[in-house]
Amino acid sequence: MYSVGAIVIAAMLSEAVWETGKMVWQKGKVSVDRVGALVVGLLIAVGAGLDMFLLVGINFFHPLIGQILTGILLSRGANFVHDLLKSAEGIVQRKKATP
């Protein structure tokens, strides 16, 4: 069973994935830069088997789902991913500190 912290982290990650997807279509046309970043992020995450969701204790029934979602998040860049993971880590640490 998942904790409240895991659900909050899942909500943060799902919003980040959605917002990234919205960036692909800007001002009535496809953003080539966004699509390129998505392709690179997906290649890195799937190629290396990276899954951010596993880091916070969220397991998908198929590992490729977590890798694809991680690739989408990676496409946002290092600062975004760092801030996202720092927020998730804070939630996990607060959960551990609560008896």
Of 65 and 20, which is predicted with more confidence? 65
Sign of CA dihedral 4, 83, 25, 58: negative
Domain layout of the chain by residue ranges: 4-97
**Res 47 pLDDT > 80:** yes
Q: How many whole angstroms separate alpha carbon 6 and alpha carbon 89?
A: 11
Predicted TM-score (pTM) of this structure:
0.79
| Bridge partners, residue 25, by sequence | 30
In the structure, what pLDDT confidence band is assigned to residue 99 with cuts at 50, 70 and 90? low
Confidence at residue 1, expressed as pLDDT on a 0 to 100 scale: 62
Residue range 80-95, pLDDT digits in tens: 888 888 887 787 777 6
Mean pLDDT (whole number) for 33-53: 94
